[in-house]
Amino acid sequence: MIHRPSFDLTTEPWLPVIRRGSLDEVGLRELFRAAHDIEDLAIPVPPAASGIWRILYAITARITGLDDTGLDLRPWSRRRNDLITSSHGFDQDAVEEYFDRWAARFDLFDPERPWLQDPRLATQCEKDAGVNKLVFSRNSGQNHVWFDHHHDQHLDPLPAKEAAWHLVAQLYYGAAGRCSTRRVGTTSQAKTQAGPLRGRLSFHPVGENLFQSLLAGLVHPKRFRTDGQPPPDLAPWETEELPDPLGIPPCPAGLVSALTNRARHALLLTPTPDGGQVSGARLTWAFHHAAGEFEDPYLIHQVATSGAVYARPADGHRALWRDLDALVNEENEADPRKASRPRVLREATNLPPKVQDALRVRAFGFDQDRQSKDNGWFTAITPPILKWAKERDPDMAYGIARARVAAEEAQRRLAEALRKAWRDYSRRDPKGPNPWIPAADSRYWPRAERVFWQVIDQRAFDQVDQAFTRLALEVYEEVTDMTCRQPRGARAVYRHRPGLFSPTRKPAAPIATRGAA
């Protein structure tokens, strides 16, 4: 009997979770059987966590029947509310039935249908790119080193559970451009499209336990349907045939395919003989033709000056509180970018009030350009914020937006004053480097967050412009203090200081604070 490598994701402990206050690891079966007893996922790689949450949502929809595109929003919401208020978790028989049916498709190293991989790459893609290419944080080719010193001559194998995380991360956040050559028939290509979430900021509701979080993270499936007769709504492991690389990329036909079947990369892992580790990986293009646009329900969408709608990018230098107004408002008047809430949060307002009051929102961000440069990833979590949603507390929702706009306007005036003062003082090229502005930003934004939460806590929205102007003035004086000890420097600093009190934009109109605490 020939032994082949195997890693069954339904039973192997590959998903880190927090259970009863301690870190644990479970497989997919145990995760769904005990979801009501698990507090949260604890996957340490944010882009992998973002993708895995989407996969878990898809399985949740299958197990609960909330993938039914025939249900209108109201009966669908009622069914979800009945489930989420249950203390018994998922139906155990439904969990076992689903994973029994697809057990073979969840083997990471299955020779015929390895999970989320394309076994045809063994012959179509001759070059194994090495295990370092699979892991975003490892140096590969000309990419920089992040946290360790792996390089092309230092190819340490990766534990199979971690390889599964990074497989998912690549499928959702993979780079565009040059890749390993793949030959399909007479077509030979070495260029791929970007992953569907590349460079994006993703938001997910977090309940009191994993069971609540998974249900709260679902959206109504009917909105994904196409005109006419839609194709089957299937996850990659549910399809009978592998996709045609030379065909048109699949269009989401429902919630499950929208969450799991939008990858633009094809991968094949190379396991060690015992199946416990991964020693290499083939990573190349999945489709020859470009994919269509799709509005992901976990992203903030906003309007560019050209009128085009785009998803808000992840920015490692931007704190999460600056996105808070876009999570509680729907195209609010205080936001010139007309940012719209992620659809998952819009539909979360249909949940029972008790569940809404406990929901926090976690953000996963991966600061990347659209091609191949990776700057860094991050994650953050809000306090319970749905009680501030526009539908429940419009004054608070608008006040949050106004506070964010006031903070950014004060920083803009601060940067402009420093730019003029430095040019006046240094008498150098106005487009040259200005050391005052990065020094000011490093002081301003952490303090601005404290001011923001003080304003929110006190509902002092009519004082928000003055509060951030005072902060900008403090920072201006700190950054320029040493320069003021010279006559020429003092003249430049004090000449441009009044600009901080003269906003060029008209402040937002005062808002009512009915029901203010």
CA dist., res. 192 & res. 133, Å (int) = 15
| pLDDT score for 449 | 96
451 within domain boundaries: yes
Q: Tell me, what's the pLDDT at 426?
A: 83
Ramachandran sector of residue 170 (left: φ over 0; alpha: ψ -120 to 50; beta: rest): alpha
Q: In terms of residue numbers, what domain contains 454?
A: 398-500
Phi, psi of 276 (to 5 degrees): -90, -15
CA torsion through residues 316, 320, 321, 322, sign: positive
Query: Which among 7, 49, 15 is positioned nearest to 35, based on CA atoms?
Result: 15
Specify whether 402 is located in the same domain as 448: yes
For 375, list phi and psi in degrees, rounded to 5.
Answer: -95, -35
* Domains contained in the chain, number: 2
Q: Does some domain include residue 181?
A: no
Question: 417 and 491 share a domain?
Answer: yes
User: Is residue 133 a contact partner of residue 178, using CB atoms and an 8 Å limit?
Assistant: no
376 and 421 assigned to the same domain? no
User: Does residue 332 lie within any of the structural domains?
Assistant: yes
Per-residue confidence (pLDDT) for residue 142, from 0 to 100? 47
Contact 421, 436 (CB under 8 A): yes
Per-residue model confidence (pLDDT) at position 154 = 56
Positions in the chain whose pLDDT score sits under 70: 1-2, 138-155, 223-230, 331-337, 428-431, 501-517
Residue 94 lies in a domain: no
Same structural domain, 495 and 411: yes
The residue ranges of DSSP E strands in 337-448, in sequence order, are 360-368, 374-381
pLDDT in tens, 95-124: 999 999 999 999 999 999 999 999 999 999
Q: Does residue 434 form part of some domain?
A: yes
- Out of 386, 416, 431, pick the residue that ends a domain: 386
**pTM score, two decimals?**
0.90
For the stretch 316-341, pLDDT in tens is 888 899 999 999 987 655 555 678 89
152 inside domain: no
Q: Are 477 and 417 members of one domain? A: yes
pLDDT at 337: 60
pLDDT at 95: 97
The reply to whether 356 and 409 lie within a common domain is no
Same domain, 356 and 328: yes
E strand residue ranges, 247-345: 265-271, 277-285, 301-303, 309-311
CA dihedral 294, 296, 299, 304 (to 10 degrees): 10
Q: How far apart are CA 476 and CA 474, in angstroms?
A: 5
Q: Measuring CA to CA, which residue among 314, 286, 284, 287 is closest to residue 299?
A: 314
Last residue of a domain, one of 386, 415, 449: 386
